[in-house]
């Protein structure tokens, strides 16, 4: 039984970030149309070490069926140990036999597809004249989100905020992202400063309390909220979520792990008040933004439908190019 092992470096040589945006979009549509099955996330926490693990899985139907199982970790004390905060592994199985096909680095796939989601949502829901991006958070996901948004809107400036403890990281982020995008990236003095000047906002933190309040957001702003992907996590004021035109990746997932969980718990809205799942809008079954001054929010908890498309593409490219290495498990 041979399994192909793909490192992050190998995957980066096989895929292009622009393809990630395309495959994330396809994943949302496949999810809406029932071509990908995704059971509930298994969310595990170990507060003793400030760590969490999400296990996400999916089944892709079709002529070449696949199954993926991904374990994605966030251990927030790791930087003090000289380690990255995030890590992940993806196991790709043959959907016809159940036998393993590949084991691959999952963090590159996760950061790419999570950031790409911001590009998909911005292209679909932001005003056409959006030019300023506000970022809440300065990690790798925020960097990928900035790249994705810059692909779908001609950005002129990015304003980024991070907690004071991350100031050095934020400075490096501003320099690197500014050079990468070829535009001005400034460090905002506060969340309100980053948000109020922006046409598009992306939040990408592990916060468990609201950071972006209703009165910070200008009419016509689009927000992609990425950080809330587990019970209790929150980046947006519940009144903001309830008062916006709200789009989600999966209602069933967002109601327990996303921004949606908070206004539901506080009685500010019901599930019927969610405007649509984003796959429905992409498939033409629901409308997107309907006026220039409404606030749109995309509650992005991350789905295994996004993982499976990119993992399958990486594996098929690796076979054609004989990339990676093979391990015999027999």
For residues 288 and 203, membership in a common domain is answered with: yes
For residue 35, count CB atoms less than 10 angstroms from its CB and return exposed for 0-12, middle for 13-18, buried for 19 or more: middle
Q: CATH no. for residue 259?
A: 3.40.50.720
For residues 277 and 321, membership in a common domain is answered with: no
Q: Kindly report, residue by residue over 185-233, the tens digit of the pLDDT.
A: 999 999 999 999 999 999 999 999 999 999 999 999 999 999 999 999 9
For residues 133 and 278, membership in a common domain is answered with: yes
Q: What angle do CA 302, 89, 48 make, to 5 degrees?
A: 80
For residues 105 and 143, membership in a common domain is answered with: no
Of 71-85, 174-188, 275-289, least confident by mean pLDDT is: 71-85
What is the C-alpha separation between 248 and 106, in angstroms, rounded?
A: 23
What is the C-alpha separation between 152 and 178, in angstroms, rounded?
A: 17
For residues 141 and 98, membership in a common domain is answered with: no
Supply the residues annotated as catalytic. Answer: 70
**Whole-number pLDDT of residue 63:** 65
Count of structural domains within the chain: 2
140 to each of 12, 18, 108, 133, how far by Cα in Å? 15, 17, 10, 16
Q: Kindly report, residue by residue over 63-121, the tens digit of the pLDDT.
A: 678 999 999 998 988 988 889 888 999 999 999 999 999 999 999 999 999 999 999 99
Count other C-beta atoms under 10 Å from residue 46's C-beta. 10
Of 149-153, 165-169, 226-230, 274-278, least confident by mean pLDDT is: 165-169
Count other C-beta atoms under 10 Å from residue 189's C-beta. 10
For residues 103 and 123, membership in a common domain is answered with: no
What is the C-alpha separation between 239 and 118, in angstroms, rounded?
A: 22
> Do residues 243 and 270 make contact, with C-beta atoms less than 8 angstroms apart?
no
For residues 6 and 72, membership in a common domain is answered with: yes
Higher pLDDT, 13 or 1: 13
Assign 167 to helix, strand or coil. Answer: helix
What is the C-alpha separation between 131 and 133, in angstroms, rounded?
A: 7
Q: Identify the residue whose tokens are 């949502």.
A: 121
The whole-chain average pLDDT of the chain stands at 94
Least Cα distance to 35 among 304, 313, 257 occurs for 304
Least Cα distance to 25 among 115, 117, 112 occurs for 117
For residues 144 and 156, membership in a common domain is answered with: yes
For residues 130 and 238, membership in a common domain is answered with: yes
For residues 246 and 153, membership in a common domain is answered with: yes
Domain that residue 275 falls in? 116-302
For residues 316 and 282, membership in a common domain is answered with: no
For residues 177 and 289, membership in a common domain is answered with: yes
What length does the chain have? 330
Structure token pair of residue 112: 């790419």
CA 238 centroid distance within chain = 20
Q: CATH no. for residue 99?
A: 3.30.1780.10
pTM score = 0.94
Instruction: Give the pLDDT band of residue 166 (cuts 50, 70, 90).
Output: confident
Count other C-beta atoms under 10 Å from residue 66's C-beta. 23
């Amino acid at each position: 039984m041979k399994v192909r092992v793909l490192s992050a470096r190998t995957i980066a040589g096989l895929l292009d970030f622009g393809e990630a945006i395309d495959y994330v979009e396809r994943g949302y549509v496949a999810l809406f149309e029932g071509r990908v099955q995704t059971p509930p996330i298994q969310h595990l926490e170990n507060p003793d070490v400030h760590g969490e693990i999400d296990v996400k899985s999916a089944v892709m139907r079709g002529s070449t069926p696949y199954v993926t199982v991904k374990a994605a970790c966030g251990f927030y004390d790791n930087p003090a140990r000289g380690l990255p905060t995030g890590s992940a592994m993806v196991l790709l199985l043959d959907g016809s036999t159940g036998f393993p096909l590949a084991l691959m680095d999952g963090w590159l796939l996760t950061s790419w597809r999570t950031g790409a989601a911001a590009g998909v949502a911005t292209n679909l829901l932001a005003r056409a004249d959006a030019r300023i991006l506000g970022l809440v958070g300065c990690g790798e996901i925020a960097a990928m989100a900035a790249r994705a948004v810059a692909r779908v809107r001609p950005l002129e400036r990015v304003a980024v905020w991070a907690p004071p403890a991350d100031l050095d990281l934020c400075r490096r982020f501003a320099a690197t992202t500014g050079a990468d995008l070829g535009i001005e990236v400034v460090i905002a003095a506060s969340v309100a400063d980053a948000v109020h000047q922006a046409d598009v906002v992306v939040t990408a933190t592990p916060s468990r309390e609201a950071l972006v309040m209703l009165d910070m957001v200008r009419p016509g702003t689009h927000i992609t909220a990425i950080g809330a992907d587990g019970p209790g996590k929150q980046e947006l004021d519940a009144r903001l979520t309830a008062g916006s035109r709200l789009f989600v990746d999966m209602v069933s997932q967002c109601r327990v792990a996303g921004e949606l969980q908070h206004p539901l718990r506080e009685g500010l809205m019901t599930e019927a008040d969610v405007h649509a799942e984003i796959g429905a809008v992409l498939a033409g079954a629901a409308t997107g933004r309907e006026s220039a001054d409404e606030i749109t929010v995309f509650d992005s908890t991350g789905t295994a439908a996004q993982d499976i498309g990119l993992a399958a593409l990486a594996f098929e490219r690796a076979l054609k190019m004989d990339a990676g290495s093979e391990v015999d498990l027999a």
